[in-house]
Amino acid sequence: MRRDLTALAEQGLVMRTYGGAAHIGAREPEQSLQERSGQHSTEKARMARAALAHIHDHDTLLLDGGTSTAALARLLGERRGLHVITNNLLALPALQDLPDGRVTLLGGDLRSESLCTFGPAALAMLERLSADKVFVSADGVVAGRGLCEASAEQSYLKDKMLQQAAEVFVLADAASSSGTTSGTGRR
């Protein structure tokens, strides 16, 4: 049974859970990073500016992968002494010159569709880190189900990020909360 569940999870038909699996519904094709980067740029900039208001000098932040969190990364130079922990390779150019700050990059496997890292190595590293605040994006936000992602691996990493931070902030626009998402992972 475990092999069957693993095979179904690898096909994206179920998400493995402790002691079983959960149905994750029909999949829509995931949009490319280039497509996502160009969509809702005004909303992403507004969300990033609003999120920045919650960030103080010398905070330790977890920054999830995604184009919305990359928009936030571009504003972090307005704060001093930040420690940013991220799996978001798209955010790295903006983070390279943080004033009096430092960046910790989560290792792991590269997810080329989103330019972020994930997998057992990222989870193991995150297990030993904590943050004041976490900023996550999502492929979808569904009432009663929470955050949705394109893969179960992304969901697992996002779960761990949420556990490791004292405060949680979700950067999602109206398209993410419509209930119809390209995501299939469930949180």
> Is residue 153 in a domain?
yes
pLDDT at 110 over 50: yes
Nearest to 24 by CA among 116, 152, 138, 111: 152
| Mean pLDDT, the chain, whole residue set | 82
Question: What pTM was estimated for this model as a whole?
Answer: 0.74
pLDDT at 182 over 60: no
> Is residue 19 in a domain?
no
> Is residue 161 in a domain?
yes
Identify the band that residue 174 occupies on the pLDDT scale cut at 50, 70 and 90. Answer: low
pLDDT at 179 over 90: no
> Is residue 10 in a domain?
no
| DSSP structure string for the chain | -HHHHHHHHHTTSEEEETTEEEE--PPPPPPPHHHHHHTTHHHHHHHHHHHHTT--TT-EEEE-SSHHHHHHHTTGGGSSS-EEEE-BGGGHHHHTT-TT-EEEE--SEEETTTTEEESHHHHHHHHT--EEEEEEE-SEEETTTEEEESSHHHHHHHHHHHHTEEEEEEE--TTTTSS--S--EE-
* Residue 136: per-residue pLDDT: 95
Structure tokens at 129: 């880190």
pLDDT at 80 over 60: yes
Domain containing residue 127: CATH number: 3.40.50.1360
> Is residue 9 in a domain?
no
Question: What is the tally of structural domains in the chain?
Answer: 1
pLDDT at 178 over 50: no
> Is residue 97 in a domain?
yes
> Is residue 38 in a domain?
yes
> Is residue 54 in a domain?
yes
* Residue 104: per-residue pLDDT: 98
pLDDT in tens, 8-57: 777 766 666 655 665 555 545 555 555 555 555 888 899 999 999 999 99
180 or 124: which leads in pLDDT: 124
125 or 114: which leads in pLDDT: 125
* Residue 158: per-residue pLDDT: 92
Domain ranges, residue 90: 32-186
